[in-house]
Structure 1
């Protein structure tokens, strides 16, 4: 499953989060991942690992990819083919 991700500059988490050079908080991205899993009929029980490797700026377009394998889910967010984060978790 692949879906578009875009966090607009007016998102309520951004004020005060690196003023002058805002970065989308990791928890906002993880929330998007959990919501995508729920839309796909699952529930994220636990995140086993996640690695943030590049920032996502407000207004940038990115792509979330989910791969389910039984109770395991792998996720990745990329911008223009470059990883922003990757990880895996467990479904309920």
Structure 2
């Protein structure tokens, strides 16, 4: 596992035979953040790549190596103190040559937000009556990485 105790897999669910969603909790107390960066920790990009590779290895139950990264976009920095929970969606397929084509997208876990909605009803007397209703809605998670890579079994 990457840098002992760097993260914990909370859940791993398959939506079909090629797509998985992994819920991960980062350890904001890990020593890597003392140098990257003191008082303003950021998950290093190389650690995110390793974390994704290890998630695929867990699913496939085999050691893999990344042989090609055709596209990798880091869209936002992750502060493990502010956002310790992330989600990674993995989509992969095996080629005829035995290689694994991987697409990964990481998102900051969506938050549930409370908001007040004012509902107005007109009574029989024509008087407006207002009620405030609390409603919960889920905010879609922010994407922080998009990756396309090729992996092969370690030899």
TM-score, length of structure 1 as denominator length: 0.88
Give the match's secondary structure for 1:14.
Answer: helix
How many residues are treated as equivalent by the alignment? 92
Q: In the aligned structure 2, how far is the partner of 1:64 from the partner of 1:89?
A: 14
- Which range moved further: 77-86 or 16-25? 16-25
Which structure shows the bigger proportion of residues in strand conformation? 2
Give the match's secondary structure for 1:24.
Answer: coil
Other-structure match for 1:65: 89
1:47 corresponds, among 53, 69, 81, to 69
Other-structure match for 1:26: 45
- Which range moved further: 41-50 or 57-66? 41-50
Other-structure match for 2:33: 14
Q: In the aligned structure 2, how far is the partner of 1:38 from the partner of 1:66?
A: 11
Report the Cα offset of residue 36 of structure 1.
Answer: 0.5
Q: In the aligned structure 2, how far is the partner of 1:37 from the partner of 1:44?
A: 10
Asked whether the 8 Å contact 1:77–1:86 carries over to 2, the reply is yes
Other-structure match for 1:3: 22
Report the Cα offset of residue 64 of structure 1.
Answer: 0.6
TM-score, length of structure 2 as denominator length: 0.55
User: Structure 2 unaligned runs (5+)?
Assistant: 1-19, 95-99, 111-140
- Which range moved further: 30-39 or 9-18? 9-18
Tell me if 1:84 matches 2:106: no
User: Structure 1 unaligned runs (5+)?
Assistant: none
User: Which has more radius of gyration?
Assistant: 2
